[in-house]
Structure 1
């Protein structure tokens, strides 16, 4: 059940990130969900590395959105080169 809940939250995070910072081309349901889940992971590992979060804790919703927006920014830079 935790896995399904993570996917649902990841999808919501991906939608919010795409609304705040639209990418260069449209993404479907699966890519938006992946963006949100990976954004949450990026925020968690970055926050733990900087000492903002304790070991084993996860990032909050806003930090996950920021992580997803960082991924969108990097994706935009890479896709412009091609």
Structure 2
């Protein structure tokens, strides 16, 4: 399901726009259990780089990441999309 269709489904169930948005985003983040989000430490290990570099790449926008509370999480597809120039820089 798409984020929009999930939102519409939850909007009908709850009748509350904010609650529907939160539920839809939560469903989107957990929809691929086989593609679990990685911690910066796990991402660094997969790329063979330092954790500091992962945080720097996330902060600069060169590596897409998600903030869940205070935690940073990275989808494995975003690691695959990262180009070598971003890592070397």
The TM-score range, normalised by the shorter chain, is 0.3 to 0.5
Which of 1 and 2 has greater Rg? 2
Query: What is the TM-score normalised by the length of structure 1?
Result: 0.33
Richer in strand (by share)? 2
Determine which structure has the larger helix proportion and give its number.
1
Higher RCO by CA contacts (8 Å cutoff, separation 6 or greater): 1
